[in-house]
Amino acid sequence: MASSSSSPTPSVIKKYDVFINFRGKDTRYCFASTLHGLLLEKNIIVFFDDELEKGDEISSSLMNAIEESEISVVIFSERYASSRWCLEELVKIIECKQMHQQMVRPIFYHVDPSSVSNQTGTFGEEFAKLVKSFNKEKLEKLQMTEEQFKDKIQTWKNALTTAANLAGYTATNRTATFDIAMRVVQEVLRKLDDLHSDADNKNLVGIQGMLSTKIIL
pLDDT of residue 200: 54
**What number is the average pLDDT over the span 114-127?**
98
CA distance 63 to 124: 25
The pLDDT, as a whole number, for residue 210 is: 44
pLDDT at 3: 57
Number of domains forming the structure of the chain: 1
Q: Domain containing 81: what range?
A: 16-216
Report if residue 6 sits inside a domain: no
Band the pLDDT of 148: cuts 50, 70, 90. very high
Q: Cα separation of 54 and 38, whole Å?
A: 26
Q: Which of 57, 89, 125, 126 is catalytic?
A: 89
Whether 3 is covered by a domain: the verdict is no
Residue 33 lies in a domain: yes
Give a yes or no: residue 70 inside a domain: yes
pTM, two decimals, is 0.85
Task: Pick the most confident of 77-81, 200-204, 211-215.
Answer: 77-81
13, 4 in Cβ contact below 8 A? yes
- Clarify whether 89 is annotated catalytic: yes
Say which CATH number the domain at 44 has.
3.40.50.10140
Amino acid of residue 17: D
Asked whether residue 60 is domain-assigned, the answer is yes
Give the residues across from 72 on adjacent strands: 19, 104
- Give whole-number Cα distances, 157 to 94, 117, 189, 205, in Å: 12, 8, 30, 43
The reply to whether 117 falls in a domain is: yes
Average pLDDT, the chain: 87
The pLDDT of residue 204 is 47
Q: Has residue 22 been placed in a domain?
A: yes
Inside any domain, residue 135: yes
Whole-number pLDDT of residue 175: 79
> Across residues 37-62, what is the average pLDDT?
80
pLDDT tens profile 91-102:
999 999 999 999
